Amino acid sequence: MNEIETNNEIFEDIKHMDEYGNEFWYSRELQNALEYKQWRRFENVINKAKESCKNSNNNIYDNFADVGKIVKTGISKKEIEDYKLSRYACYLIAQNGDSRKKVIALAQTYFAYQTRKMELTELEYSKMSEDDKRLYQRNLTRKGNYSLNQTAKSAGVKNFDKFHIYGYKGLYGGETADDIFKRKGLRYREDILDNMGSEELVDNLFRIVHTEAKLKKDNIQGEDNANKTHYKVGKKIRNTIKELDGTMPECLPTPSKSIKELEKDKNLLINKRG
């Protein structure tokens, strides 16, 4: 594993996802990652970040949610402060941190790039390169799949691989995830979605979003019913693509670089500039 990947993992490893697929970090875990030994000193940084948030006309509570909790210390209990931080909050903390620390510089690079990627407007998207569109759409499919899995679980789904295969079969004219994997000529353990162009990712995002909406709207219950719903939604989207004389997803080209390779290239470029 190279240095760039290791740097990213410092913050990826402590990232959490809520029930809506939104990313967040706990301040106590970020404190350790940023090598602050005393909470008092780290809290000073958080307060400066809050002030920056306020001055930028952003809601402080939306980005710094108070989630203090009771912990046991021997035979007694005490309340400790903690925050549920948005990516933007982490970025502000990194900007206000001790710049002499190497890990702070890494945090500034990581959260600046990731925050910027999440703030794109439609106009900016239209001006993006194909690689940047792929990175943007892949992030949306990650969040979408997480949310879909939570909804599917509530509907009774236990075999998630099978559940997603039904969705692929509907969208790809009968192809399973394994069929797509082999057709794209991917290496062992490579992710299918990491090896799609922006148009193919949008097709799959449409499948993901509308399957979740259908499961909720119709209150689908039972694993078989959920699988059938995923297939039907995928097939409906396929028929829509056909009606619009669009390109079927299996006919779209596979990019020469995976998402992971693109992310590595982006991080290398950012670190060179820094």
Which tokens in the block code for residue 81?
């402060």
| Torsion sign across C-alpha atoms 150, 152, 157, 160 | negative
Look at residue 263 in the predicted model and tell me its pLDDT.
Answer: 84
Q: Return the domain boundaries, the chain.
A: 3-119, 123-266
Whole-angstrom Cα distance, residue 241 to residue 207?
12
Helical segments of 119-222, H only: 122-126, 130-155, 160-171, 177-183, 198-217
Percentage above 70 pLDDT, the chain:
87
More confident: 122 or 130? 130
Q: Which of 183, 152, 188, 185 is nearest to 249 (CA)?
A: 183
pLDDT band at 229 (very low <50, low <70, confident <90, very high): very high
pLDDT band at 269 (very low <50, low <70, confident <90, very high): low
147 contacts 212 by C-beta, under 8 angstroms: yes
More confident: 68 or 122? 68
Indicate the DSSP class of residue 211: H
pLDDT band at 121 (very low <50, low <70, confident <90, very high): low
Whole-angstrom Cα distance, residue 120 to residue 137?
11
SS3 56: coil
Q: What is the pLDDT of residues 85-100, one digit of tens each?
A: 998 899 899 988 887 8
Look at residue 147 in the predicted model and tell me its pLDDT.
Answer: 87
The DSSP secondary structure of 241-253, one letter per residue, reads HHHTT---GGGSP
Q: Which residues of 249-271 are buried (b: 16+ CB within 10 A; e: fewer)?
A: bbebeebeebbeebbbebbeeee
Highest mean pLDDT of the ranges 13-22, 53-62, 115-124: 53-62
Look at residue 122 in the predicted model and tell me its pLDDT.
Answer: 59
More confident: 128 or 171? 171
Mean pLDDT of the chain: 87
Residues 6+ apart with CB under 8 A from 19: 147, 150
pLDDT of 10 higher than 50? yes
Look at residue 221 in the predicted model and tell me its pLDDT.
Answer: 96
Look at residue 89 in the predicted model and tell me its pLDDT.
Answer: 93
Look at residue 2 in the predicted model and tell me its pLDDT.
Answer: 40
